[in-house]
Amino acid sequence: MEKNKFQNIKTGVQEIIDFIAVKNAKEANNKLVEVSEDLDDLLDFSDEDNDLIEVSRYQVLLNQLQQRIIGLNGQSTTSI
């Protein structure tokens, strides 16, 4: 599998973190959905153990970020 694909995932994760840092839950969630779809595509076409391990690490990270986004929505005073 191309390392470039994981680089795109890594960049997307950083964008999610940046959106969370500025408390932009809507954009963070949109980016999370996009990165999750890309990660699912990688999972569908992975057959090497190392790639599957890397995908699972990103899945755990995305789940953690999703919890942070949910927390931002709870702090928000306006509906998104």
Distance between CA atoms of residues 34 and 54, nearest Å: 18
pLDDT tens digits, one per residue of 39-69: 999 999 888 999 999 999 999 999 999 999 9
Domain boundaries defined on the chain = 3-73
Provide the 3-class DSSP secondary structure of residue 5: helix
pTM exceeds cut of 0.75: yes
Q: How many CB atoms lie within 10 A of CB 29?
A: 20
